[in-house]
Amino acid sequence: MYDYDLVVIGGGSGGLACSKEAASYGKRVAVMDYVKPSPQGTQWGLGGTCVNVGCIPKKLMHHAGLVGEVMKYDAREYGWQMPENPELTHNWELMISNIQDYIKALNFGYKMTLHDASVKYHNNLATFVDAHTISCVDKKGKETQITAERFVVAVGSRPTPLDCEGGELAISSDDIFSLEKAPGKTCCIGGGYVSLECAGFLSALVMDVGIYSRSELLRGFDRECCDKLEERFLKDGVTIKKGVVPIKISKTEDARLAVSFSDGSSDVFDTVLAAIGRTADTASLALEKAGVNMLPANRGKIECVAEQTNVENIYAIGDVVYGVPELTPVAVSAGRLLSARLYDESSPQMDYERVATAVYTPLEYGCVGLSEEAATTKYANVEVYHRVFVPLEHSMVVGRNETSECFSKIVVDADTGLVAGIHYLGPNAGDIIQGWALCVKKGVTYREVIETVGVHPTCAEEIVNTTVSKSSGKDVSAAGC
């Protein structure tokens, strides 16, 4: 009856995983992916936000900043012959060229994997005609129609534009990773992880950076950890203003950008980066023609139960789904599990609880489970264990001590002994928190954590050595070896 058994709309990580999984069961599968340019005109290839304008270029630029710190602080102390006062300079253009070349190789690789998996790739913009039909428009404006038994909406989200006079002058995370020239003095608008990560690597690449947020930084994360991140930003020379929003952006005579803020202050920047949140990219899909209920008050998201919309044959995964973590691995797992349930008589559903994440700021932050604030709301009795430490590799480096104070924290339900959350600030945060994600997911107790033998000497062992409780009032600083 239909052209395909399944059509996935969106070629990001979740959509690609979902389509390939479905095809592995012998189903006729197609992926529709069309990248609408950003307001600044930035475009990219197959692979979605993560590979093109998200996780991949973000971490590469973060690493570029870390390399600079090693040369600035560590190299001489470890015996490398360096000038007494090295004048480190960074070639933005070379970095961007190399990163974009790498991303283009990934784009090509995704096309090949779809071909190898027998998934048909359509570089078309899809719009629903009814619950089983979509209209597809290619780059030349040619329109065709495709029918499918089932659809999966996996179009992800795009940066929310600034709603102020001159807001169109700001760039977003869609633009920063392919910017041809170094952004210079940069105003990062927003207090979420995108704003902080961009501010972090720009500062590490020796640029003047300011963070301007209407509320606290990293809302929803553990406040004690966020305060320590803020202290690190300030030590690095990053300006932070909270409780302010831009009310006007205008060009100056020398082609810079003058920004006026709600508190009456103003400043002039070379670049304004808007990172105030993301909106589901569903506006052009005409989902209402297929009967799908939308949540316009929640940035275009779709309400689902086990990834199924209110329409029997239409599903959604990833950032478009209301109330789920906006993380690439979450979309990938949800997509694979959905295809297995649809075509392999599988039953496991996506577990959106206790999902680990990492924030790639100069002082990296990894966490899984509840913050201290959330735990005290959920449980009657909460105990917190914490520890401050300096990584061994930084301990003998002059100049590192000011910025190398790292932190581990374990939040415990005191009545059951179960670990409610683990938080870590320090090098390799994502790699370290990954293993603890399984432990927290499986219901590890605090006693089991501290009875685990650590790998010495590592930063990871600081978690199993986190034995000082907040209630004791004892010193949390780690002793030497």
Q: Return the pLDDT at 67.
A: 95
Is residue 456 part of the annotated active site? The answer reads yes
Same domain, yes or no, for 266 and 285?
no
- Of 188-192, 397-401, 455-459, give the lowest mean pLDDT range: 397-401
Res. 481: pLDDT tops 70: no
What is the mean pLDDT of the segment spanning 450-465? 96
296 occurs within a structural domain: yes
Q: Which residue, among 329, 476, 351, has the nearest Cα to 410 in the 3D structure?
A: 476
306 and 241 co-located in one domain? no
Residue 349 placed within a domain? no
Helix axes 13-23, 328-343, angle to 10 degrees: 20
Mean pLDDT check: name the lowest of 158-172, 255-269, 376-390, 396-410.
Answer: 396-410
Nearest-angstrom CA–CA distance, 284 and 78 = 56
- 86 has a pLDDT exceeding 70: no
Q: What are the structure tokens assigned to 68, written together?
A: 């600079």
If asked whether residues 225 and 260 sit together in one domain, one would say: yes
**20 shares its domain with 141:** yes
Would the pLDDT of 136 be above 60? yes
pLDDT band at 355 (very low <50, low <70, confident <90, very high): very high
- Residues 147 and 171 both lie in one domain: no
- Distance CA(323)–CA(90), nearest Å, equals 40
Query: Does 317 share its domain with 262?
Result: no
Residue 480 has pLDDT above 70, yes or no: no
| Rounded distance between C-alpha atoms, residue 431 and residue 424, angstroms | 11
CA pair distance 154, 134, nearest whole angstrom? 15
Q: Is residue 232 part of a domain?
A: yes
Q: At what angle do helices 193-204 and 223-235 cross, to 10 degrees?
A: 30
Q: In one letter, which amino acid is 356?
A: A
Does one domain contain both 114 and 196? no
Rounded distance between C-alpha atoms, residue 205 and residue 436, angstroms = 31
Specify whether 285 is located in the same domain as 136.
yes
Q: How confident is the model at residue 358 (pLDDT cuts 50, 70, 90)?
A: very high
Q: Which domain holds residue 466?
A: 357-472
CA–CA separation, 23 and 3 (whole Å): 14
Give the percent of the chain with pLDDT over 70. Answer: 98
CB contact set of 312 (below 8 Å; sequence gap of 6+): none
Strand order in the sheet with 257-261: 246-251, 257-261, 266-269
CATH number for the domain harbouring residue 327 = 3.50.50.60
User: Does residue 85 have a pLDDT over 80?
Assistant: no
| Cα 181 to Cα 94: distance, rounded to the nearest angstrom | 10
Phi/psi of residue 317, nearest 5 degrees: -140, 160
Residue 348 lies in a domain: no
In a domain, 331, yes or no: yes
Angle ∠(330,334,338) on CA atoms, nearest 5: 175
Token pair recorded at residue 19: 């389509």
* Cβ pair 272, 259 in contact under 8 A: yes
Which domain-ending residue is among 256, 276, 296? 276
pLDDT at 452 over 90: yes
Per-residue pLDDT at 84 exceeds 80: no
Q: How many angstroms separate the CA atoms of 287 and 281, rounded?
A: 11
Would you state the pLDDT for residue 479?
A: 63
Work out the mean pLDDT of the chain and round it to a whole number.
95
121: in domain: yes
User: CB of 312 within 8 A of CB of 290?
Assistant: no
The CA distances from residue 142 to 107, 132, 145, 283, 332, in Å, are 24, 20, 10, 21, 31
**Tally of domains in the chain:** 3
Contacts of 205 (CB under 8 A, 6+ apart): 61, 64, 65, 68, 90, 92, 182
Question: Are residues 266 and 314 part of one domain?
Answer: no
Tokens 């005579």, residue located: 253
What is d(CA 403, CA 212) in angstroms, rounded to the nearest whole number?
22
Mean pLDDT, residues 372-385: 98
Q: Which of 115, 122, 423, 456 is catalytic?
A: 456
Q: Is residue 351 part of a domain?
A: no
pLDDT tens track for 67-82: 999 998 899 889 998 8
CB within 8 Å of 62: residues ≥ 6 apart: 197, 200, 201, 204, 360
Q: What is the dihedral of CA 61, 15, 152, 36, to 10 degrees?
A: 50
pLDDT of residue 314: 98
Residue ending a domain, choose from 288, 314, 343: 343
Question: Rounded to whole angstroms, how far apart are CA atoms 230 and 240?
Answer: 8
- 426 within a domain of the structure (yes/no): yes
The residue among 343, 376, 393 that closes a domain is 343
Residue 201 and residue 193: Cα distance in Å, rounded? 12
Question: Is 14 in the same domain as 131?
Answer: yes
Scan for tokens 């986190």, then name that residue. Answer: 466
pLDDT the model gives residue 214: 96
When pLDDT is averaged across residues 230-243 and rounded to a whole number, the result is 97
Same domain flag for 106 and 23: yes
Based on the fold, state whether residues 10 and 47 are members of the same structural domain: yes
